[in-house]
Amino acid sequence: CVRSNSNRAAISHLHRQIYGRLYPVLLVNTDGSTVRLRYKEPKRILMLPLDSSTLPEAERKARLRRQFPGKPKAKEEETFKGIDLDTYRQFWKK
């Protein structure tokens, strides 16, 4: 037996797929312009995806490089061949 009254919503969250009202949302277009509209879910900002086919080739490659960075380069290990150890002898004595 499922109770369908106001006390059910106070005990747990509402189990609904569609919200009963529309919420004000800021829509950001690909060119940077913004439009306020009403959306079915409570969100602050919606961003439209950028169409990469309209971009110049150089900017498209730069965006792809930022999106998928390469593997990190291995750092060279430090060697003690070039260090004069006599300069640090004062720290060895107790």
Asked if residues 65 and 44 have their Cβ atoms less than 8 Å apart, the reply is no
Q: What three-state secondary structure class fits 35?
A: strand
pTM of the model: 0.41
Domain ranges of the chain: 20-68
Q: What gap in Å lies between CA 16 and CA 66, rounded to an integer?
A: 39
- pLDDT per position in the chain (94 positions), as tens? 555 666 565 556 666 666 678 899 999 988 889 999 988 888 899 888 888 888 899 988 998 888 888 888 888 887 777 778 788 888 886 6
Could you tell me which residues come within 8 angstroms of residue 35 by beta carbon, excluding any fewer than 6 positions away? 26, 27, 29
Q: What gap in Å lies between CA 45 and CA 52, rounded to an integer?
A: 21
Q: How far is CA 68 from CA 60, 63, 65, in A?
A: 12, 9, 5
